[in-house]
């Protein structure tokens, strides 16, 4: 099994995906263990002094003015975890919780939190045992970190609350720890606070969304090319020299991908046939510009994610010179903004894909295709309601594109009076990514059927490879009306699992 070693300088997006989705094992480097021990010595020294230090010998948030005596400090750390584990609503996905835990461990291992090495090792042990704390949908405002979600994880380290075992069954966390020989942690000064105070949930969801969107943007280039082909459009607008004079990197990459898919097609360039036209509609002609802008948005979001992955997000933090200082680095604004930006771009990509599908189904704009791609229009409805489903998904994505980060709601007796709502931005982006997958799947379904209805014209080799692969995956071709939901589900899985990109790349080589 793949092993990810956590040091003091952060981790990579690939590391996060390996742990969250691939079940990779986690080990602490010797450097990290040494840094943990050194920072803990500083915290212990401060804890022994009579002077109050936030997070070490005081309360938290609006209660930070109270000095806590030594005999109550262990109780204080337990209490902050218990009281902050106040989430509600549906359970969050296992991969999100694993990313959340791993990223908190990443910050702990930076040596800036003051957590003891044995606490960090327990975090790694829980991940390696496949134990996943139950975390709920609601509870984070994205400031002071993802407090409630991280608290549910910290609660499991203490042997309290519920968790899912490697068998997928939810049980008391204490039972699961005991079965795997893991001793529950007994938190000391600052440790409870250090386990709760980070942007780890929203960052983990950003990293996974970027991985999914990378595949989806390639998939959208493919379905746009298939729709252009099915509509007998022209590929001249994809020429590299046209995109070189407007040098947005994403636009050039999308155009190059579409051109690669269409290479060798006999369907393109029929503008002066029976239904002459000067140029294709925007949804076809401007596909690289829209998808390209989304790609460039992703590039910015990756830069933000990389910076956050290299960060130690906690409050207060232990500095190399021995100071323990309060700060505002836990504020989720940098991550929240790009999560929202990605939802806007995804909504627009879904919108343009739906417009192409609608064009394929409209006999007045499809240049010779049957109404709704039906076998016997009137008797058969064809893909009429598949487009309704796609339109409903697009409408939902427009609502999801409303930025969460533009909102703020005061909390903690106005001490935390401006929050990022980054967790909410991340949760809605996950829904948007799911919906975008379905939208692209419906365009794929319509475009492949339309190409097959163009009798006497040979599609591009890459298009033919897609048609063969998607039919082999259980997505049926043209014919009389049938129960459509299974076909659409199979098309969704084909896109979601990356098979669409794989089919094209078997002909074109790697897409950009």
Q: What residues are labeled active site?
A: 54
In the structure encoding, which two tokens stand for residue 109, read together? 């291992």
The contacts found for 466-470 with CB under 8 angstroms, 24 or more apart, are 466/222, 466/226, 466/500, 466/503, 466/504, 468/503, 469/494, 469/499, 469/500, 469/502, 469/503, 470/444, 470/494, 470/499, 470/500, 470/503
As a whole number of angstroms, the distance between CA 353 and CA 222 comes to 11
Residue 501 CB neighbours (<10 A):
23
DSSP character at residue 379: T
Q: Give the per-residue SS3 of 53-86.
A: CCCCCECCHHHCCCECCHHHHHHHHHHHHHHHCC
In the structure encoding, which two tokens stand for residue 121, read together? 């090792």
* Residue 290 main-chain phi, psi, to 5 deg: -75, -50
In the structure encoding, which two tokens stand for residue 235, read together? 């590929």
Computed on alpha carbons and rounded to an integer, the radius of gyration of the chain in Å comes to: 26
As a whole number of angstroms, the distance between CA 426 and CA 430 comes to 6
For helices 200-230 and 249-262, give the axis angle rounded to 10 degrees: 40
Q: Count of residues for the chain?
A: 512
In the structure encoding, which two tokens stand for residue 234, read together? 């022209």
* Residue 131 main-chain phi, psi, to 5 deg: -90, 125
In the structure encoding, which two tokens stand for residue 479, read together? 């014919």
Using alpha carbons, select from 351, 349, 366 the residue that is nearest to residue 447: 366
As a whole number of angstroms, the distance between CA 247 and CA 249 comes to 6
């Amino acid at each position: 099994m793949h092993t990810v070693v956590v040091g003091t300088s952060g981790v990579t997006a690939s590391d996060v995906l390996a742990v969250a989705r691939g079940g990779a094992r986690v080990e602490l480097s010797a450097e990290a263990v040494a840094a943990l021990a050194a920072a803990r010595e500083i915290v212990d020294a401060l804890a022994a002094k009579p002077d109050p230090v936030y997070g070490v010998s005081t309360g938290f948030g609006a209660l930070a003015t109270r000095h806590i005596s030594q005999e109550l400090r262990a109780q204080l750390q337990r209490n902050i975890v218990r009281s902050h584990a106040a989430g509600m609503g549906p359970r969050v996905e296992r991969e999100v919780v694993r990313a959340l835990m791993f990223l908190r461990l990443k910050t702990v291992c930076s040596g800036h939190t003051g957590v003891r090495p044995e606490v960090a090792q327990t975090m790694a042990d829980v991940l390696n045992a496949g134990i996943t704390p139950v975390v709920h949908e609601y509870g984070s405002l994205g400031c002071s970190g993802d407090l409630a979600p991280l608290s549910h994880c910290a609660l499991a380290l203490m042997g309290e609350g519920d968790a899912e075992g490697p068998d997928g069954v939810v049980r008391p966390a204490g039972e699961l720890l005991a079965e795997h020989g893991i001793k529950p942690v007994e938190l000391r000064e600052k440790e409870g606070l250090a386990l709760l105070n980070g942007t780890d949930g929203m960052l983990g969801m950003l990293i996974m969304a970027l991985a999914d969107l990378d595949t989806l943007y390639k998939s959208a280039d493919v379905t746009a090319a298939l729709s252009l082909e099915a509509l007998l459009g022209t590929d001249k607008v994809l020429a590299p020299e046209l995109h070189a004079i407007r040098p947005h990197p994403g636009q050039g990459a999308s155009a190059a991908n579409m051109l690669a898919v269409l290479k060798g097609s006999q369907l393109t360039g029929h503008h002066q046939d029976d239904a002459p036209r000067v140029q294709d509609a925007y949804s076809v002609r401007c596909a690289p510009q829209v998808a390209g802008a989304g790609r460039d948005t992703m590039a910015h979001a990756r830069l933000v994610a990389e910076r956050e992955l290299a960060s130690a997000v906690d409050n207060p933090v232990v500095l190399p010179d021995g100071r323990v200082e309060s700060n505002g680095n836990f504020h989720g604004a940098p991550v929240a903004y790009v999560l929202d930006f990605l939802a806007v771009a995804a909504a627009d990509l879904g919108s343009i894909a739906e417009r192409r599908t609608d064009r394929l189904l409209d006999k007045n704009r499809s240049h010779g295709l049957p109404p709704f791609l039906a076998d016997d229009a009137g008797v058969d409805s064809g893909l009429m309601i598949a487009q309704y489903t796609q339109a409903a998904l697009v409408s939902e994505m427009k609502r999801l594109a409303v930025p969460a980060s533009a909102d703020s709601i005061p909390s903690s007796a106005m001490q935390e009076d401006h929050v990022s709502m980054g967790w909410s931005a991340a949760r809605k982006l996950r829904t948007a990514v799911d919906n975008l997958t379905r939208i692209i799947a419906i365009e794929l379904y319509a475009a492949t059927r339309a190409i097959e209805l163009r009798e006497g014209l040979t599609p591009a080799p890459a298009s033919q490879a897609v048609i063969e692969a998607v039919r082999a995956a259980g997505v049926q071709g043209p014919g009389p009306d049938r129960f459509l939901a299974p076909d659409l589900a199979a098309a969704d899985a084909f896109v979601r699992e990356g098979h669409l990109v794989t089919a094209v790349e078997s002909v074109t080589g790697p897409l950009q």
